[in-house]
Amino acid sequence: METFSYTADFLASKKSKPVVSQIKYGDGYEQRQAFGINNLSKSWTLTFAQRESAEGDAIEAFLEARNAVESFLWTDPFESTAEVWICREWDRVLEKSLRSTITCVFERVYEPSV
C-alpha cells in the first residue's frame, strides 16, 4: 500500500462523526446505540497552497492513480502512526505563474488486511 507523504498547510480541518443507530418513540423518548465496530467516521480537509507545478503534479498524480478506489496510508497530525485513508474528491486551482493550490478530503476507511 502506498503512503501519501506530502505535507499539508496548517489550515487543515478535521471532522468526526459517530455512526449511531437510533429509535425514536412517542413523547420524545429516544434510544441510541453505536452502529458497527468502527463507528467513528473521520475525515480531513487538506490544503496544499501555492505549490510549484512539479509538486502539484505529483500530488494530483498520486490521487488520480488511486482514483477514489485504492486506499493509501497517511498519518494525520494528531496521530503517530499511519492509518488507511481514501480520497474521493479534490480540486486544483491555478493561482499564478505555474503555482497551484490543491484542496482535498481524506476519509478514514477500515479494510481487511490483504
85 or 114, which is more confident = 85
Task: Return mean pLDDT, the chain.
Answer: 93
Kindly state the average pLDDT of the residues 83-108: 94
The Cβ of residue 62 has, within 10 Å, a number of other Cβ atoms equal to 16
The Cβ of residue 41 has, within 10 Å, a number of other Cβ atoms equal to 15
Per-residue pLDDT of 55-87, as tens digits, reads 999 999 999 999 999 999 999 999 999 999 999
Per-residue pLDDT of 39-62, as tens digits, reads 899 999 999 999 999 999 999 999
> Considering the entire predicted model, what is its pTM?
0.86
Percent with pLDDT over 90 in the chain? 77
Strands annotated E in the chain? 13-18, 20-24, 30-34, 40-52, 72-74, 83-96, 99-108
The Cβ of residue 12 has, within 10 Å, a number of other Cβ atoms equal to 13
